[in-house]
């Protein structure tokens, strides 16, 4: 907003007209006096600039502004009225420098009703009400006002008043006041930026903590299970994601070789959505599922019970979960499974060199209270490879807008399986191709997780000692 001039009477300088034009005053005295005044003004402006560069407390800086202005141009009083970011008068930060008792003015400003409304500072008609208020308070005085402007937004108003008459307002005074106003606008804008940075830093810390907790909840390494190799990786789109996979012994009390030969559960899931809410729900489901696993129930019953337990919490969050649950017995190589609308894992058969999907009917977790699930089963043979994955893999978008899709994933899995690679190299190559498809340095739009299970090709039956009578 341009400077607005109301009726005013402002001192020109510390020099009176008599001093300037008295025949007894010498030209050197005049120059010395002007030099002292110029030096003083430079020191005041330098002090304000230093305060702007080094201030850590905006309130103290704003309190300093009216004092500088009154000394800089030799007026009796100055009032600074800053505005909130939403345009309301910042009542707590109104500062006044005056020779007389003007606390009543500050009190009246703090209860100025129009200034309590959002957008007040952005309406010229509303600002005119504030100008009129000041003019009425100093009806016998000269008043000058200007706005604090930063990044095109009005951040406050400065009012300068003086009761002395027969004084005039010079261009130098006008420039000095506008300079102080501009510096003050920058100070307010800088404080807003600092507060925003602090909010982001706080959120980043929370995200980092959430990501650390989630990373601890996901398995830090794959377990040793007799007869198979495992490799797994979750790559969240954000610091905290909604993808989930886990490996759980159905009899956690077993240790060592007995645990390796015991039954294990493999699960992969995806909470709809991304970020912190999805991560929190994933954490909740992990705890529920781990409690269910030790029951020893078949996969379809596990999913049924999990749906019942999580239904209320998921309904309140308006989110659902896809989940593929399976259990594996190393002794028989039998894999049982049930699916809650998750992407069916891909099974590459070493004998036929063909890929099929492991799937069974089932609704999303959290969708319906009476959802039923079907248990399927298969026998894994030596050399077979099973790939669990989330839709963040197949739905990943390339630079041309094309999707990675299931067809590409099947082709790549078949290519790497034929090469005889073990689980970890297959997983690494799949993610490398995914990254190349999305583009170097590009972020995934959704969390992407993959688990590779490969049955060892040199499996032998357990030795059975013959007992001779």
pLDDT band with cut points at 50, 70 and 90 for residue 129: confident
pTM for the model? 0.57
The C-alpha atoms of residue 22 and residue 28 are separated, in whole angstroms, by 13
Q: Mean pLDDT check: name the lowest of 150-159, 216-225, 448-457.
A: 216-225
**Mean of the per-residue pLDDT values for the chain?**
79
Which has the minimum average pLDDT: 181-190, 249-258, 303-312, 456-465?
456-465
CA distances from 452 to 60, 228, 301, 430 (A): 61, 10, 25, 10
What is the distance between the alpha carbons of residues 190 and 173, in angstroms, rounded to a whole number?
26
Query: 95: how many CB neighbours lie within 10 A of its CB?
Result: 18
The predicted-structure confidence for 447-460, as pLDDT tens digits, reads as follows: 889 999 999 987 55
Does 141 score more than 90 pLDDT?
Answer: no
Measured in whole angstroms, the distance separating CA 459 from the mean position of its chain's CA atoms is 49
pLDDT tens digits for range 312-360: 777 776 678 899 999 999 999 999 999 999 999 999 999 999 999 999 9
Q: What is the pLDDT of residues 255-267, one digit of tens each?
A: 888 889 999 999 9
* Superfamily of segment(s) 218-455: PPM-type phosphatase domain (3.60.40.10)
Whether 228 and 330 have beta carbons less than 8 Å apart is answered as: yes
Express as a percent the part of the chain with pLDDT over 70: 74
So what's the pLDDT on residue 345? 97
Question: Which of 120, 122, 121, 90 lies closest to 106 in space, CA to CA?
Answer: 90
In this structure, what are the phi and psi dihedrals at residue 339, rounded to the nearest 5 degrees?
-125, 130
The CA distances from residue 388 to 91, 446, 457, in Å, are 60, 16, 20
Q: Mean pLDDT throughout 133-151?
A: 77
What mean pLDDT do residues 80-100 have? 84
User: Model confidence over 383-394: pLDDT tens digits?
Assistant: 999 999 999 899
Q: What percent of the chain has pLDDT over 90?
A: 28
* Highest-pLDDT range among 94-103, 112-121, 406-415: 406-415
Q: What is the token pair recorded at 40?
A: 């003083």
* Alpha-carbon gap, residue 168 to 179, rounded angstroms: 19
Distance (Å, rounded) from C-alpha 136 to C-alpha 140?
9
CATH code given to domain 4-196: 3.30.450.40
- Counting beta carbons within 10 angstroms of the beta carbon of residue 466, is it exposed (0 to 12), middle (13 to 18) or buried (19 or more)? exposed
Task: Report domain extents, the chain.
Answer: 4-196, 218-455
Question: What are the C-alpha distances in Å from 385 to residues 263, 339, 390, 462?
Answer: 18, 19, 17, 22
CA angle 261, 266, 272 (to 5 degrees): 170
């Amino acid at each position: 907003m341009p400077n607005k001039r109301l009726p005013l009477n402002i001192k020109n300088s510390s020099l009176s007209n008599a001093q300037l034009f008295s025949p007894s005053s010498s030209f050197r005295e005049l120059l010395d006096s002007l030099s002292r005044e110029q030096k003083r003004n430079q020191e005041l402006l330098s002090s304000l600039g230093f305060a702007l560069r080094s201030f850590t407390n905006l309130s103290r800086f704003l309190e300093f502004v009216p004092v500088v202005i009154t000394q800089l141009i030799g007026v009796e009083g100055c009032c600074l009225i800053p505005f909130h970011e939403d345009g309301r008068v910042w009542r707590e930060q109104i500062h006044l420098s005056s020779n007389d008792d003007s606390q009543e003015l500050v009190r009246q400003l703090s209860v100025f009703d129009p200034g309590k409304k959002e957008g007040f500072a952005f309406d010229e008609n509303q600002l005119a009400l504030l100008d009129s208020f000041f003019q009425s308070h100093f009806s016998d005085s000269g008043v000058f006002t200007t706005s604090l402007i930063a990044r095109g937004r009005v951040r406050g108003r400065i009012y300068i008043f003086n009761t002395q008459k027969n004084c005039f307002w010079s261009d130098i005074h006008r420039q000095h006041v506008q300079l102080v106003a501009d510096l003050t606008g920058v100070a307010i804008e800088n404080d807003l930026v600092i507060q925003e940075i602090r909010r982001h830093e706080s959120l980043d810390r929370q995200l980092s903590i959430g990501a650390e907790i989630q990373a601890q909840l996901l398995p830090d390494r794959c377990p040793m299970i007799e007869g198979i190799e495992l490799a797994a990786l979750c790559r969240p789109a954000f610091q905290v994601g909604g993808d989930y996979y886990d490996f759980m012994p159905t009899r956690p009390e077993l240790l060592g070789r007995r645990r390796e030969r015991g039954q294990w559960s493999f699960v992969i899931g995806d909470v709809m959505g991304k970020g912190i809410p999805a991560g929190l729900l994933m954490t909740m489901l992990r705890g529920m599922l781990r409690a269910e696993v030790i029951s020893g129930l078949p996969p379809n019953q596990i999913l049924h019970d999990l749906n019942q337990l999580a239904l209320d919490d998921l309904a309140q969050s308006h989110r659902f979960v896809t989940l593929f649950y399976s259990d594996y017995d190393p002794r028989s190589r039998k894999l049982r499974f049930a699916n809650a609308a998750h992407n069916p894992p891909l099974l590459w058969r070493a004998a036929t060199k063909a890929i099929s999907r492991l799937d069974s009917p089932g609704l999303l977790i959290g969708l319906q209270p009476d959802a039923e699930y079907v248990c399927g089963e298969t026998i894994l043979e030596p050399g077979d490879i099973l790939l669990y994955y989330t839709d963040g893999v197949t739905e990943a978008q390339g630079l041309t807008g094309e999707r990675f899709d299931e067809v590409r994933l099947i082709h790549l899995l078949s290519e790497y399986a034929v090469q005889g690679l073990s689980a970890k190299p297959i997983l690494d190559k799949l993610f490398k191709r995914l990254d190349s498809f999305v583009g170097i340095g590009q972020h995934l739009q959704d969390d992407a997780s993959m688990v590779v299970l490969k049955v060892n090709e040199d499996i032998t039956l357990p030795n059975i000692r013959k007992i001779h009578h």
